[in-house]
A and B are shown apart, each in its own frame.
Chain A
Amino acid sequence: MIDKNVSLWRDRGILPLVQVLPLLAILMTGVAMPTSNAIAASPNWSPKISERLIKLPSVHLKRAIDSDFKDSTLANAIGDTADEVSAKTKTVSELKEAMERAEGSLATELRHQALVEKQNLIKLMGTRQDLKKKHLKTKVRLYKRLLRKANNKTGVQNASSAELKENQAKARNRFKRTLTDVDMKLFRSSTTTESKYSKDYIKNSSAIDRLASAINSHPMNSLPEIDGRVVGKADFLRQLVAGAESELAILNQEESILGYMAKLVALDAMALSEGLDAENFNEEIEGDESRTGASDKIDLFVS
């Protein structure tokens, strides 16, 4: 009986499908499992926090990180997987169109092929999601470290540093008030002339002021904005962390979509398998009934 079924499935091209069914069953339990194993030895992106990166203006910071990622093997892998996914999507849609036109055993064969391709597509999408997740997690970690460093540099300081800064500010203010007095008393009222340092300082100072104003008004030096409001580096980094984390949340949601897709493919495979079983079973029943119908035998018992 089993041998008969196997030969029948082979004739109709269903045997590969039967072999694929256990795989589909695994798919029903979750798509992340096989892909994460595949990622274990996968491409990587390990950005380094250099002093240059910390000192970069906020707008350039994001650009520098993105460009560093673009050069990584992880970015290449994501790009390659995206290409494969689009190619596979095209294949599945072509198979679907062909399936609508086909009839009989060809239609069954096409259904089988479509299921296999769908399974591969789900696997690829899972791989792409894992790679994307890896990228986003690294990005979040990087932004958080940068945020910590930015906070260390600006906001967070101990009491003695704060006191020193306060004393320096007070000294500067007091100093400013006496600058002219000292110049008047020391240089103007006597034969002594201004020192070379004083002259050069004034000259350089005006040059620095001009350059600083040019830098401040330069379009490439514009401060980052959130909702049209200019924000500081720490706020900008917090925004980047929030953005990357929201992308991660969306990816997690998409993972459940993939799970549902896998379940649907598994159900389709089961439907295909059961449909063929029922067809075979009906054929056998019909054959047996024609030969040994119970109603035909009643006459044997009734005289």
Chain B
Amino acid sequence: MLHKIIKTTALSGALLFSISIAQAGSLENLERERAIAIETMLSPSLKAEERLDRAMISKRRLVDLERMVIRDKKLAQNNTPIVRTAFENYNLTFLVHASTEANKTLLDHWLEEIGVSTHSLGTARIGRR
């Protein structure tokens, strides 16, 4: 009987531990969703209409997630490289809000932020590395 109780307690303890590990912060959720959004926009396997629909869903989610990050008071006490980098690069972290501010589409804004513009693509040459 005692052995069973100890086993159950250990299991529930492990479960609690795994739950606490599995809990991601608001910033991690935003980064995951942003990665999915960019992947969707760049995916060559999607049709234009399908891409637009998926991008719209992602955008809506990103709006909420960006607002969650900016309102997250716990991040102020969490001085980690991820948090520091996120707030140093506002234009990339808060992609939807920054693109609206710049009056550009999400993809255009992102490409510009990472240094890929229409001009740079037009002047690019195919070559071997």
In the bound complex, CA of A172 to CA of B71 (Å): 8
Chain B's closest residue to A190 (CB) is: B56
Asked whether, in the complex, the Cβ of B67 is within 8 Å of the Cβ of A171, the reply is no
| A211 at the binding interface (Cβ < 8 Å) | no
With A164-B79, A171-B87: A195-B60 Cβ-Cβ less than 8 Å: yes
- Contact digits for B65-94, partner A, Cβ 8 Å, 1 yes 0 no: 011101100011001000110011010011
Asked whether, in the complex, the Cβ of A182 is within 8 Å of the Cβ of B100, the reply is yes
**Contacting residues, chain B, for A181 (C-beta < 8 A):** 100-101
Q: Give the interface size class of chain B.
A: 20 to 34
Which residues 171-223 of A sit at the B interface, judged by CB distance below 8 A?
Answer: 171-172, 174-175, 177-179, 181-182, 185-186, 192, 195, 197-198, 201
Asked whether, in the complex, the Cβ of A182 is within 8 Å of the Cβ of B96, the reply is yes
**Contacting residues, chain B, for A174 (C-beta < 8 A):** 90, 97, 101
A210, chain B: closest CB distance, angstroms: 18
Chain B's closest residue to A192 (CB) is: B60
B98, chain A: closest CB distance, angstroms: 8
| A165 at the binding interface (Cβ < 8 Å) | yes
A56, chain B: closest CB distance, angstroms: 19
**Contacting residues, chain B, for A170 (C-beta < 8 A):** 90
Chain B's closest residue to A167 (CB) is: B87
| B113 at the binding interface (Cβ < 8 Å) | no
Q: Give the interface size class of chain A.
A: 20 to 34
Asked whether, in the complex, the Cβ of A195 is within 8 Å of the Cβ of B63, the reply is yes
Q: Given A175-B66, A181-B100, A192-B56, 9 more contacts at CB 8 Å?
A: A160-B79, A164-B83, A168-B75, A172-B70, A174-B101, A182-B97, A186-B60, A192-B60, A197-B67
| A161 at the binding interface (Cβ < 8 Å) | yes
In the bound complex, CA of A185 to CA of B59 (Å): 12
**Contacting residues, chain A, for B96 (C-beta < 8 A):** 182, 186
In the bound complex, CA of A198 to CA of B63 (Å): 9
In the bound complex, CA of A195 to CA of B75 (Å): 23
| B112 at the binding interface (Cβ < 8 Å) | no
Asked whether, in the complex, the Cβ of B59 is within 8 Å of the Cβ of A186, the reply is yes
Pairs A–B under 8 Å by Cβ, sample size 25: A164-B76, A164-B79, A164-B83, A165-B76, A167-B87, A168-B87, A171-B93, A171-B94, A174-B101, A175-B67, A175-B70, A178-B97, A178-B100, A179-B67, A179-B97, A182-B100, A185-B100, A186-B60, A186-B63, A186-B100, A197-B64, A198-B63, A198-B64, A198-B67, A201-B67
Interface of B is mostly: helix
With A164-B76, A164-B83, A165-B76: A197-B68 Cβ-Cβ less than 8 Å: yes
Contact of B101 among A167, A172, A178, A201 (CB under 8 A): A178
A171, chain B: closest CB distance, angstroms: 5
Asked whether, in the complex, the Cβ of B79 is within 8 Å of the Cβ of A171, the reply is no
**Contacting residues, chain A, for B100 (C-beta < 8 A):** 178, 181-182, 185-186
**Contacting residues, chain B, for A185 (C-beta < 8 A):** 100
**Contacting residues, chain A, for B56 (C-beta < 8 A):** 192
In the bound complex, CA of A161 to CA of B51 (Å): 40
Chain A's closest residue to B65 (CB) is: A197
In the bound complex, CA of A171 to CA of B86 (Å): 10
**Contacting residues, chain A, for B64 (C-beta < 8 A):** 195, 197-198
In the bound complex, CA of A169 to CA of B76 (Å): 10
Asked whether, in the complex, the Cβ of A182 is within 8 Å of the Cβ of B63, the reply is yes
